[in-house]
Amino acid sequence: MCADSLKTPAYEPMLEDATTSRPRLALRFLAGLLATDVLLTVAYAVALIARLPHLDPKVFALFDLNAEANPAAFYSAAQLLLIGVMFFVLGSRLFENNDHVRRFRRLFMTFGVVFTYFAIDEGGEVHERLSRLLARLGFTVNFHGGGTVLFFYALAGAVMLILISRSLVRAWRTWPRQSLVFVAGFAVAVAGGVVLEILSYAYFQGHLQHLIEVGLEEFMEMIGFSVVFFSVAWILERAAREESGRNRVRPSDI
C-alpha cells in the first residue's frame, strides 16, 4: 500500500462518515439536558404556586432557580463548566493531527476560559457582587444599580468578538451547522440572562412579577446553554470520529 492510497475512496468515506453522520451521543446529551431544564422549571413553578398561600421559605429555596447552593444552581454551574471542559479538550493536543481542530486551538482555549468563568459566576454570583460593588463606587449605567456590570460585560464581549472575528468566520465555514446551533443557543441564553434581567430592573419591580421573570430568565438560560452544550459536543464527537477514521490507516499498512 503506497502513500497515495490514503487519498483513495477506501479512506475518504471514513472522513465523509465522520462529517455527515448524526451526532448520536451529542443528541442523547441534549435530550437529557432539555428534560432536566423542563423538570427544574416545573418544580420551580409548582413551588412558586404553593408558596403564594403558605410554604416554608427553606423548602422554596430548594427549588428557587435564582437561589444559591441548590440543585438548580449546581446544575447550571456544572453545565457551563462541562462546556468549558469540552472546549479545553478540543484545544488540547489530543487533536493535533486534525487540521480542522488544530488551527482553532486558541479560539477553543478562549471559549474554554469564558465558559469556565461563566460557571464560576453562576455558582458564586460574581456579576451580582460586582454590580453591588460598582453601585457603591458610584458606577451606575441606568440599570438601577443592580445590572450595572452587564454594561461592562457587554463591552468586554464586544471587544473579544472583534479580536476573534476572523477565527469565528473560519470556524463557521468549517462547522456551519454546529456554529449555527451554537449561535442560536447562545442567543437564547443571552436573551434570558441579559435582556430579561435588564428589563426586570426597569419594569418588573413587583414581587410576583420578579419571581415570574426569574423563572422565565433562568429557563431561557438553561435551554440556551443546553443547545450550546449540544453544539460543542457535536464538534467534539465529529473530531473524535475523524481521528478514529485516520487511526484505521496504520503506518504499517502503507
- Taken in order 206, 208, 214, 220, the sign of the CA dihedral is negative
pLDDT of 176 reads: 94
- Domain hosting 230: range is 23-68+124-253
Evaluate whether residue 218 is within a structural domain.
yes
**Average pLDDT of each block of 10 consecutive residues along the chain (254 residues)?**
42 46 90 97 88 70 84 94 97 86 93 94 72 65 55 83 93 95 96 77 67 88 97 94 68 48
pLDDT of 16 reads: 45
Evaluate whether residue 15 is within a structural domain.
no
Q: pLDDT for 72-118, tens place per residue?
A: 999 999 999 999 999 999 999 888 888 889 899 999 999 999 999 99
Query: How many domains is the chain partitioned into structurally?
Result: 1
What b/e readout covers 150-160, taking b as 16+ CB neighbours within 10 angstroms? bbebeeeeeee
pLDDT of 68 reads: 80
pLDDT of 207 reads: 66
Measured between its terminal Cα atoms, the distance across the chain in Å is 5
Alpha-carbon distance of 56 to 200, in angstroms, equals 25
Evaluate whether residue 88 is within a structural domain.
no
Evaluate whether residue 180 is within a structural domain.
yes
Evaluate whether residue 103 is within a structural domain.
no
Evaluate whether residue 197 is within a structural domain.
yes
Evaluate whether residue 99 is within a structural domain.
no
Evaluate whether residue 78 is within a structural domain.
no
Q: Which residue has the cell 481542530?
A: 101
Alpha-carbon distance of 23 to 210, in angstroms, equals 39
